Structure formats: C-alpha cells, structure tokens
Amino acid sequence: MSKSLPISILLSLGSSFGAQATVRLPALVGSHMVLQREAPVPVWGWATPGERVVVTFRGHDYPARPGAAGRWQVTLPATPAGGPYVLTVKGRKDTYTLDDVLVGDVWLASGQSNMELPLRDKNAPAPGAYPLILNAEQEVSSADFPQIRQFTAKKVVAYQPQTESEGSGWQVCSPATAGSFSAVGYFFARALHQRYHVPIGLISSPWGGTPAEAWVSAEALQKLPDFQAPVAALAGRPARPATPGKDAQNTPTVLYNGMIAPLQPYAIKGVIWYQGESNTGRGAQYRTLFPALIRDWRARWGAELPFLFVQLANFTKTLPLPGPSDWAEVREAQAMALALPRTGMA
C-alpha cells in the first residue's frame, strides 16, 4: 500500500505525519487483500468529520462522508472473481493506493491452538521426533500460491467491542511466507483454490488454549444462564486494558471484542473453526454455547454464513467398559451443532 501527500504538507514544519493524515484505514483494508466475490463489499475507515472521501475501484468512484464520529463507509457492488486490481482511497489531503487486490472467497479462521498452529512451527520437536506437521518443510517449500493470502489478526483482549482491526497486513502465499500461515487454514485454502480456481483469502484470528465463551459477544452470552453473572461482572472494566493480566484471554467475551468485532463488516464467505479442548469438563454447557457462538457471528455479519468446524479427535485410550468421558461429551456437543443449517463437521 502506498500513500501520497501534497508537497506542501510534507514540507510543513511543526506538524507530524499523523496529524496531517486525515484519512485512515483499518489494517484489514490494504494491499494484497482478497475481497469477497459475488457479494456487496463494504470498505470503510476514518476521516475528519464531514470530509469527502472517494473510493475508486475498477473504474468507478464511490463517495462517502464520515459522520460525527469520523467513520465513513462505502459498499462496492458484487464482483466476479478476478484481479489483480488497484483500489484507491482519496481524501482532501491524502491518497491511499492499495495494489494487487484480488476478488475471490474469504474465510475467517478461528479457534484455539489447533487453528493457530503455523505450517512451520518454531516450537517443533527436534529432527527425528514426532512432527507437528507432516512433511512441513516440503509443504512450505512448495507453497507457491500467489492467489492465496492471509491476514493475521493481532491478539487483543478487550472488555468492550473494538472498532479497528489490528494485524500484520495481508501476506501473499509463497515459500518465504507460508511457514507463518495457519496450517489448517493453509491446507483448507489450497484445497479450495485448486478445486475452484479462484483467489482465497484467510483471516486468521485464533488464540491457543482459549474457551468458546471468550469468542462470544456479551449480548449473546447474556441469553445463556451460565454466563449471565460472569458477563455482568465485566461492567465498568476498561474497554482495552493496557495490561490484561494472566489468562485474561479466557474471560467471557474478551476475544470476540478484541479479535472478531473489529473484523466486521469485512465481507466473508464463511468460517472455519477448530476449538473445544478448553471446554472439556463442560460438555453439557457446550451444547448451547457452541450454537450460540455460531448464531452470534452470523447475526453480526448479517448472513447465514457457512460454518465449518473440526470435531475433537477420537484418540483417547479405549476403556474396557463404557464410562464417563469429558472429551466424548464435547465431541457429542459438537456433533449436535450439525442441527444448525449450513454447518459442516470434519
């Protein structure tokens, strides 16, 4: 992404670059991004209230003016898969030029460590030990798929929904970058790309070891009796604590607020989810919690998004006689979520 400013601004004294930049974009909106095909696509940002902002894409201008809070938004019309394109955002003083923009399918990848595990894990066992990713080095070295891109969301704990996405920017899949991609996300994206021959964008927003309730909004959790008191206890806390504290990421609502809410309203095709271990011991609760999460995210995006998830593996020790199993209860709860429309389980 490039940004141009008039020479008079660049030469002015006593003013910082940030003070002169009247138009600002979220990290999610940038060069190399993938926009959702065949669907209206919101593009948004912030500017001085009342300033005219113009988004240009595929030869058409889409003007907007921010309201009192400074937020502006335009909606690009449904576009077939294709690209690369250039998208520009122009304000009174400055212009953003977003290069290498593709149109394809965008998937949100979330959950805990199963989804977070990168294709090349820095903490992998020594050579000869049990590999975390089978043939990881060969997979990375052959990952030459420039039409697959990933945006990795920053880990953020928040007690109120945040409005601005933070992350690494969009990375183009290559042997130099693929090692940092979510392994599950990468294999999913590669399979889709090879089958449908369209660009695939991944928004990777997981956090290892976290329970499902951390990923659900306060409004949705308040409808579940088990979580009414914990949600009420969050009232009055700072929206974005500077030092969240140990294990704060496991608190109800905080990862929805910090890592999911800021992604909205970026247009997506659907969700892939890999989580459940951190809810073992509460399988009966998961029967209502997991469907609540699915409904919540769909409501936030305003669409009945496909929601695909991985069931916990059936790898625990076989018992000679049937008996209680926390693991099996969560597996059962996950299978029960298939009663919701447009869900799929691996």
Q: What is the DSSP string of 34-71?
A: EEETTS-EEEEEE-STT--EEEEETTEEEEE---TTSE
Percent pLDDT > 90 in the chain is 81
Spatial neighbors of 164 by CB under 8 A, at least 6 apart, are 26, 27, 262
Which two tokens mark 195? 């089958």
Give the mean model confidence (pLDDT) for residues 279-307. 98
If we measure between CA atoms, which residue out of 145, 124, 148, 149 comes closest to residue 136?
124
A 10 A CB-CB count for 290 gives 25
What value, to the nearest 5°, has the Cα angle with vertex 163 and ends 160 and 166? 105
Give the mean model confidence (pLDDT) for residues 27-49. 98
Amino acid at 54: V
pTM: 0.91
Which two tokens mark 178? 């693929």
**Residue-wise burial string across 24-63, b where 16 or more C-beta atoms lie within 10 A, e elsewhere:** ebbbbbbbbbbbbbebebebbbbbeeebebebbbeeeebe
Q: What is the DSSP string of 121-178?
A: -TTPPPTTS--SSTTHHHHHHT--EEEEEEEEEPP---SS--SS--EEEEEEESTTTG
pLDDT tens, 162-196? 999 899 899 999 999 999 999 999 999 999 999 99
Lowest mean pLDDT among 113-122, 169-178, 306-315: 113-122
Looking at residue 2, its pLDDT comes to 67
Lowest mean pLDDT among 8-12, 188-192, 310-314: 8-12
Q: Does domain 104-346 have CATH number 3.90.320?
A: no
Q: Going by DSSP bridges, is the β-strand pair 307-309/270-274 parallel, antiparallel, or unpaired? A: parallel
